[in-house]
């Protein structure tokens, strides 16, 4: 048994600490879209073994390098929660689109195809939570066929 399980300690991260963290992103060219994130809680960086938590951001159309900031459709085995902190977005889950805004909470089942895109004039920022001890346990799978991919192909034909 590791120390995080035997002797859990509280973890407190203040807004100034979050603001000073450098954002992470997918390698360029990105299979994942135009999104940045800051990992806040994740073993082994924090003495935790239950959750992986971070804050993600997609920029609005006028700032983003593509039509609007987005996290491309993907899957991972872990279920995920989103809590929208600011802005407006559209979350796609298994081919269905849902408008979200500040205060919205979204549950995404494990292995469900999902993604996020910014809509409106300000960035959309959300807290994400995985029931995983560390971010390294979460394996993103982009490009797999699913309901959203089928709808993307249908839209492209129009």
Candidates 2, 107, 110, 83; CA nearest to 48 is: 2
Q: Give CA separation, 148 vs 20, 23, 41, 93, in Å.
A: 35, 27, 30, 8
- Left (φ > 0), alpha (ψ -120 to 50) or beta: where does 16 sit? alpha
Candidates 98, 95, 146, 149; CA nearest to 126 is: 98
Structural domains of the chain, with CATH: 22-157 (2.60.120.10)
In this prediction the pTM is 0.84
Q: What is the pLDDT of residue 144?
A: 75
Token pair, residue 84, equals 């929208």
Each residue of 88-146: pLDDT tens digit?
Answer: 999 999 999 999 999 999 999 999 999 999 998 899 999 999 999 999 999 999 987 66
């Amino acid at each position: 048994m590791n120390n995080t399980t035997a002797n859990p300690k509280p973890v407190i991260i203040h807004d100034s600490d979050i603001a000073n963290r450098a954002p992470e992103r997918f390698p360029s060219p990105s299979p994942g879209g135009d999104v940045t994130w800051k990992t806040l809680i994740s073993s082994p960086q924090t003495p935790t073994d239950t959750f992986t938590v971070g804050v993600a951001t997609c920029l609005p159309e006028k700032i983003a390098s593509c039509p609007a900031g987005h996290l491309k459709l993907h899957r991972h085995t872990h279920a995920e929660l989103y809590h929208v902190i600011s802005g407006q977005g559209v979350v796609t889950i298994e081919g269905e689109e849902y408008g979200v805004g500040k205060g919205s909470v979204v549950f995404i089942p494990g292995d469900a195809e999902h993604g996020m895109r910014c809509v409106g004039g300000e960035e959309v920022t959300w807290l994400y939570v995985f029931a995983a001890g560390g971010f390294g346990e979460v394996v993103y799978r982009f490009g797999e066929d699913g309901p959203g991919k089928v709808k993307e192909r249908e839209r492209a034909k129009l």
